[in-house]
Amino acid sequence: MNSLLVYLTISIVLFVLGLLAMMTRKNAVSVLMGIELILNSAGLNFVAFSRFSTGNLNGQTAAVFVIIVAAAEAAVALAIFLNLYRLKATAEVDQADELRG
């Protein structure tokens, strides 16, 4: 509304919350939600800079691509979760630890 700083702060909060979800949630779908939060924060950043800093619409166009990528990523991620669920009978990411050293 009034300044870039406010939007950037909201975006940081979303980003950090998304990271937190990615790190702490055991359910794969919840991790995905965290990723969506991060993508939203990135989109918000793009749009905010487009509005206040660059004076053109390149940022908004980039945000369109962010949404596209998010859609593609969600579809593939859910397909992977389905496989994980069938393989392990659970969707908890900490069960998938075949690569333990």
Q: 79: buried, middle or exposed (CB in 10 Å: 19+, 13-18, 0-12)?
A: exposed
Rounded to a whole number of angstroms, the distance between the first and last alpha carbons of the chain is: 50
CB of 46 to another protein, least distance (A): 9
How many residues can be counted in the chain? Answer: 101
Q: How far is the CB of 64 from another protein (least distance, A)?
A: 7
Please state the closest distance from residue 79 (CB atom) to another protein, in A: 4
Per DSSP, the three-state class of 33 is: helix
